[in-house]
Chain A
Amino acid sequence: MDKISIIIDGKKVSVPPDTTILEAARKTQINIPTLCYHPDQNVKGNCRVCIVEIAGANGFAAACCTTVKEGMEIKTNTIRIREARQMVLNLILANHNSQCLSCKRNGNCELQTLSQELNIEEEFLDKVVDLLPIDQSNFSIVRDQTKCIKCGRCIEVCNDVQGVGAIYNVNRSCDMKIAPAYEKGLSEVPCVYCGQCINVCPVGAIYEKEDTKEVWRALEDPNKHVVVQIAPAVRVVLGEEFGMETGSIVTGKIVSFLKRIGFDKVFDTNFTADLTIIEEGNELLHRIKSGGKLPMLTSCSPGWIRYIEFFYPELLQHLSTCKSPQQMFGALVKSYYAEKMGLKPEDIVVVSIMPCTAKKTEAKREEMHLNDYYDVDIVITTRELAKMVRESRIQLRELEEEDFDVPLGLSTGAAAVFGATGGVMEAALRTVYEVVTGDELDKIDFKNLRGIAGFKEATIPVGDLDVNVAVANGLKNAKILLDLIKEGKANYHFIEIMCCPGGCIGGGGQPIPATNSIKEKRIEAIYQVDLQSELRKSHQNPAIKELYEEFLIEPLGEKSHKLLHTHYIDRSKNNKDKRD
């Protein structure tokens, strides 16, 4: 198509038709300020910070939602524009509880940065902040409306990406706010605690419920044996919080840090990820052989579990009964490991470091304990880990790398890929193939199941059976598959579903920003970890073999059932506000 010539601040540029002024300006090294704009979302045009002058037009135009026209003359940096932008920002600030020093997003806040960049010298309008109470109704997500700038990003992610519709805008005019139905707490609506709203929020209006203090306290309690597990998606992401390149792998440094601050044992969720593959793989084979419910759906993503419990309880039979790796880990620590070490389960504290806000609530599920002890006691996110690093004053970048402790720290590359969408499926296929056929699988990279696309499928010959699999991430994509299952049209044996777009590397507890381009780099790093692993198939993990020999006896056995498997709850009853 013919290019369009325009002039931006005196400089001529040619751009394809349908380019917005914002995009065109970026091509001329001008970064027009934005606030509601997010690279992975629809253009909203509501903050009005990106205004520019167009020759011949009366008012300003919003650069994000105005496409260029041939011969357009645009000015982005005049006194009139700078003052107008300051005015717009002042209108926002007047309705913003600007307490930066104690704010979760201090130092990583788009509003704060913008105030600095636009050179705000005075907040000259009356403060009109409505001091609404903070919603702390649940174990995962906190909402502080006094910080909300009404950009609408969280609504888009919750409704259009996740298809949950837990929050939307209520009221009009200056009473407009973002809230769950009837302005209830998040715990009273079908919020799945995915935290995707946190990841897109430009300010400190939504954040994880912080549990770092509990961790510090446990570490200093002389009567407690404190062990920690780290999820696969944490190690390739934490570095971002410390200025390292996106996709840096910092596993050894995290281990070293955790040992330094006093954990008795530093273990790896990847160990139970391998274990999940054994249990889940066997469950799949069992279902196929015995005519059980198919397709079988993965069960390691707690936001996804909440989703199906809320919206499709009639399909709960399709879920694998396997607990998530986090929960399997906790259950084993308080049984197998406790026995082995001669410890009482009540003296052990299990901490997990997760990419996920939903994991905090998962750990508190009623089913997730043995006798009186929760499998997992405290869950913190990658972001909270970063906070602990900062608080400790230990310089992460300079730490020597250390290895996980044994035995629950041993894992394979198959476990590592759990962190990216498609990973669980790939890991399962590596094992199922070999278990069924007895042959060695030489092409173990299932490349067509990889990548950030929301939906992928494949057919893999396993012996004389063609196994049909599908992989979805983001709940809206999951919904499509669930509807197919309901209609009896889902001709799959096994479906992997991850609640968060991109999988756990895009989890609601991960460093912000987490745009698609950043997520792609994180995914690359995940497969790097896999490639660097000595063993790349779960069933080859010697510690897993030992675990079965010494303790579990056999997959899907009696102990497994008690410790590693679970059941689900129909939550549709407390889902009166279900919206499509």
Chain B
Amino acid sequence: MKSFVSKLCGKIMPLSLKEYREHGGFLGLEKALFYMSPQEVIDEIKESRLRGRGGASFPTGVKWQLVAAEGDEEKYVVCNADEGEPGTFKDKALLEGCPFQVIEGLMISAYAVGAYKGYIYIRGEYPNSIDLFKKAINILKKEGYLGENILGQNFSFDIEVRSGAGAYVCGEETALIESIEGNSGSSRFKPPYPPNCGLWGKPTLVNNVETLANIPLIISQGAEEFLKLGTKGSKGTKLISVSGNVVNKGVFEVEFGISLREIIYDICGGLEGNKKLKFIQVGGSSGACLPELLLDLELDFDEFKKHNIGIGSGAILVVDDSCCILDFMRVTTEFFKHESCGKCTTCREGNRHIIKAIDRMIYGSGTERDMQIIKDIATIMRDSSLCGLGQAAPIPVLSLLKHFKDEFQEHINGYCSTGVCNFKGEGKSHG
């Protein structure tokens, strides 16, 4: 375990500006405002090789540069605190542990790209975080950290808190933008990407909470310090949210390069009741499901990429061998069926056909053809959906088909080794 981005969480009073400052708070902002040009700030972030922590792991400095390069007078920065991914609660830890750090990160980003207005879009299910942020913003306004000519410098900035109605897709950056604009949250097609054309058609920088929380540290300590952490291609640390059948569940900060096995057995104390591991799902509901034999994989964007998987938000779900793959797949697909915004054909229509095919398998009338349908539909969803939600929804399905083919076959043959499925057509015995 490592303590870097989350080091102040639990250590200071979240709303004590005094304590935050005593622990190095706002040194990053001051350094940026007093001693660095916006371009120098961007260069520092580029040099740190920080990559986005919201899911897409896009190089943060490069994204900032795109926004900075736009000529508009009016630009926006947005902190994505929607954290809608089931089993993900790491942003909450930062939001409630050290709100000033996240705000400082957002302010530095605004200074760097030339924005005067920021939004923090917080998941509606986090009323506590919303409350904390509203208070934190008021404190900062009073203390001259927000408003006109901050710290006496030629930089003015204001922040508004917005909250979402709980739709998962609102975490997707373009849907989030729609939602801030007051429309119902459904995705726009990209391009144009938000850095060129985002909120109200203006260049907009959207960053995840954890990404932003890293910023003050990188600026105050310098990129060099940051580069000491992590692996060759993945710098720094990652907050992971571990849930499922493990002994220690929760949010942990780890350095890139740690293996999945270390996370599960060393940090989280292995599986509950010493059961056998069936698979872990990395990156939330839309993450790939990896069998035991991939556990030695190191947490590293590039290593993961080699296996065509993403780290996503850093959620890890641990599943023991009492789980039926088809049952699990049905629950996941049902989740995405519920969360699809309904705009594009493949995502709107795809999930229910997958569920129908799974149901036939679960109730004993499944055939090879159903397996093929599941695969074909999942593939078309991945390849052709309009936004990240529909593209990622079939990832668990496809990974399960790949790694647990036998279990599908088993169901086609009228048998469920975990005993979850009841083939008399009366539904499931449990789960």
Q: Please, which residue of chain B has its CB at the minimum distance from the CB of A57?
A: B383
Task: From B99-107, B153-161, B341-349, give the one contacting chain A.
Answer: B341-349
In the bound complex, residues from chain B placing their C-beta under 8 Å from that of A58 are: 383
What is the chain A residue whose CB lies nearest that of B345? A48
Report the Cα distance A540→B127, complex, angstroms.
Answer: 75
Interface: A45 (CB within 8 A): yes
CB distance from A568 to the nearest CB of B (A): 34
Contact A174 B337 (CB under 8 A): yes
Q: Please tell me if the beta carbons of B380 and A150 are within 8 angstroms of each other in the complex.
A: no
B391 within 8 A of A: yes
Among listed B82-90, B215-223, B351-359, interface-contacting one: B351-359
Report if A46-B353 is in contact (Cβ < 8 Å); known contacts: A88-B346, A125-B373, A176-B348: no
Cβ A91 vs Cβ B349 within 8 A: yes
Answer yes or no: B382 CB below 8 A from chain A CBs.
yes
What count of chain A residues pass the 8 Å CB interface test? 34
Interface residues as binary, A32-54 with B (CB distance below 8 Å gives 1, 0 otherwise): 00000000000101111101000
Once bound together, how far apart are the Cα atoms of A43 and B386, in whole Å?
Answer: 13
Per-residue CB contact flags for chain A residues 359-376 toward chain B (1 = under 8 Å, else 0) read 000000000000000000
Contacts of B382 in A (CB 8 A): 59
The reply to whether A84 and B351 contact each other, CB–CB distance below 8 Å, is: no
Stretch at the interface among A61-69, A114-122, A263-271, A350-358: A61-69
Q: Answer yes or no: B377 CB below 8 A from chain A CBs.
A: yes
A94 to B377, CA, bound (A): 13
Q: Give the residues from 447 to 473 in chain A that come closer than 8 angstroms, CB to CB, to chain B.
A: none
Out of A49, A66, A91, name the residue touching B350 (CB < 8 Å): A91
Interface hit among A2-10, A165-173, A248-256, A400-408: A165-173
In Å, the complex CA distance between A45 and B342 comes to 13
Query: Could you tell me the dominant secondary structure of chain B's interface residues?
Result: helix
Residues from chain B with a CB closer than 8 A to the CB of A125 are 353, 373
Partner of B348, one of A65, A66, A87, A174: A174
Are B343 and A46 in touch, CB under 8 angstroms?
yes
Contact A95 B384 (CB under 8 A): no
Interface residues of B in 147-196 (CB under 8 A from A): 167, 189, 191
The complex places the Cα of A88 from the Cα of B350 at a distance, in Å, of 9
Task: Return the contact of A60 from the options B352, B356, B383 (Cβ within 8 A).
Answer: B383
Asked if B211 is an interface residue, CB under 8 A from chain A, the answer is no
* Contact of A128 with B by CB under 8 A: yes
Given the known interface contacts A48-B345, A59-B382, A84-B383, the answer about A91 and B353 at a Cβ–Cβ threshold of 8 Å is yes
| Smallest Cβ-Cβ distance to B376: which chain A residue | A87
**A72-107: contact bitstring with B at CB < 8 Å (1 yes, 0 no)?**
000000000000100110011011000000000000
Bound form: Cα–Cα A126–B350 in Å = 12
Residue of B nearest to A169 (CB): B342
Q: Is B47 at the interface (CB under 8 A from chain A)?
A: no
- In contact, B384 and A66 (Cβ under 8 angstroms): no
Q: CB within 8 Å of A: which of B323-352?
A: 337-346, 348-352
Question: How far, in whole Å, are A150 and B352 apart by their CA atoms in the complex?
Answer: 16
- Is residue A487 contacting chain B, with contact meaning CB distance below 8 A? no
Docked complex Cα distance between A66 and B386 (Å): 11
Instruction: Enumerate B363-388 residues with CB–CB distance to A below 8 Å.
Output: 373, 376-377, 380, 382-386
Give chain A residues whose Cβ lies under 8 Å from the Cβ of B339.
Answer: 172-173
**A442 proximal to B (CB < 8 A):** no
| A26-B159 Cα distance, complex, nearest whole Å | 46
Interchain CB contact (< 8 A) of A62 among B340, B342, B348, B386:
B386
Q: Are B386 and A45 in contact (CB under 8 A)?
A: yes
Q: Chain A CB within 10 Å — which of B339, B340, B383, B391 has the most?
A: B383
Asked whether A150 and B348 contact (CB < 8 A) given A48-B385, A84-B380, the answer is yes
Query: Is the Cβ of A95 less than 8 Å from the Cβ of B349?
Result: yes
Bound Cα distance A128, B350 (Å): 11
Q: A175 on the interface (CB 8 Å rule)?
A: yes
CA–CA, A169 and B383, complex, Å: 25
Closest to B338 in A: A173
Q: Which residues of A contact B346 (CB under 8 A)?
A: 48, 88, 91
Q: A173 near B385 (CB under 8 angstroms)? A: no
Is B349 within 8 A of A94, CB to CB? yes
- Chain B minimum-CB-distance residue to A59: B383
Among B345, B377, B383, the one with the most A-chain Cβ atoms within 10 Å of its Cβ is: B345
Bound-complex Cα distance A87 to B353 (A): 12
Q: Considering residues B191, B350, B384, B391, which has the most beta carbons from chain A within 10 angstroms of its beta carbon?
A: B384
Q: Give the distance to chain A from B330, nearest Cβ to Cβ, in Å.
A: 16
The verdict on A171 contacting B191 (CB below 8 Å), with A87-B377, A176-B348 known, is: no
Knowing A46-B343, A125-B353, the reply to whether A88 touches B384 (Cβ < 8 A) is yes
The answer for the CA separation of A22 and B340 in the assembled complex, in Å, is: 26
> Which residues from B are CB-within-8-Å of A124?
373
**Given A66-B191, A174-B352: A46 in contact with B340 (beta carbons within 8 A):** no
Task: Evaluate contact between A46 and B344: CB separation under 8 angstroms.
Answer: yes
Most buried by A among B338, B348, B385: B348
- Residue ID in chain B nearest A65 by CB atoms: B189
Kindly list chain B residues whose C-beta atoms are within 8 Å of the C-beta of A43.
189
Q: Assuming A65-B189, A174-B337, is B342 touching A126 (CB within 8 A)?
A: no
Q: Which residues of chain A have C-beta atoms less than 8 A from B352's C-beta?
A: 128, 174
Minimum distance in angstroms from B391 CB to a CB of chain A: 7
- Chain A, Cβ-Cβ closest to B336: A173
Find chain B residues with CB under 8 A from A173 CB. 337-342, 348, 351
B342 adjacent to A51 (CB under 8 Å): no
* B192 and chain A: residue at smallest CB distance: A67
- A176 and B189 alpha carbons, distance in the complex (Å): 18
| B353 contacts A48, C-beta separation under 8 Å | no
CA distance A51 to B351 in the complex (A): 20
Cβ contacts under 8 Å, A51 to chain B: 383-384
For A67, what are the chain B residues with a Cβ–Cβ distance below 8 Å?
A: 191
Contact of B189 among A45, A60, A152, A172 (CB under 8 A): A45
Q: Given A47-B345, A173-B341, does the pair A88, B386 have CB atoms closer than 8 Å?
A: no
- A65 contacts which chain B residues (CB < 8 A)? 189
Instruction: Knowing A91-B349, A91-B353, say if A46 contacts B386 (CB, 8 Å).
Output: yes
Inter-chain contacts of B191 with A (CB < 8 A): 66-67
Q: Least Cβ distance of A331 to chain B in Å?
A: 47
CB of B342 within 8 A of CB of A87, answer no
How far apart are B186's CB and chain A's nearest CB, in angstroms? 8
For the complex, give the distance between the alpha carbons of A45 and B385 in Å. Answer: 10
- Chain A residues with CB below 8 A from B383, complex form: 51, 58-60, 84
Contact B342 A48 (CB under 8 A): no
Given the known interface contacts A59-B391, A87-B380, A88-B380, the answer about A172 and B345 at a Cβ–Cβ threshold of 8 Å is no
Q: Are A94 and B353 also in contact (CB < 8 A) when A66-B191, A84-B384, A172-B341 are?
A: yes
Find the A residue at minimum CB distance from B190.
A65
Contact: B353 with A150, CB < 8 Å? no
B350 touches A48 (CB 8 A): no
Q: How far is it, in angstroms, between the C-alpha of A150 and the C-alpha of B385 when the chains are bound?
A: 15
B373 touches A150 (CB 8 A): no
Q: Across the interface, do A60 and B349 meet the contact criterion of CB distance under 8 Å?
A: no
Tell me the complex Cα distance, A185–B386, Å: 31
CA distance A169 to B184 in the complex (A): 10
Give 24 pairs: A residue, B residue, CB < 8 Å, sorted on A.
Answer: A45-B386, A47-B345, A48-B344, A48-B386, A51-B384, A58-B383, A59-B383, A59-B391, A65-B189, A67-B191, A88-B380, A91-B349, A91-B350, A91-B377, A91-B380, A92-B349, A126-B356, A150-B342, A172-B167, A173-B339, A174-B337, A174-B349, A176-B341, A176-B342
Sample of 15 more A-B contacts, CB < 8 Å, known A62-B384, A87-B380, A124-B373: A45-B189, A46-B343, A47-B345, A59-B383, A60-B383, A60-B384, A88-B346, A125-B353, A128-B353, A152-B343, A172-B339, A173-B337, A174-B342, A175-B342, A176-B348
Binding site for B on A (CB under 8 A): 43, 45-49, 51, 58-60, 62, 65-67, 84, 87-88, 91-92, 94-95, 124-126, 128, 150, 152, 169, 171-176
Q: Which residues of B line the A interface, CB within 8 A?
A: 167, 189, 191, 337-346, 348-353, 356, 373, 376-377, 380, 382-386, 391
Q: In the A-B complex, list the 10 residue pairs whose CB atoms are closest, starting with the nearest.
A: A176-B342, A59-B383, A45-B189, A91-B349, A173-B340, A65-B189, A87-B380, A46-B344, A48-B384, A173-B342
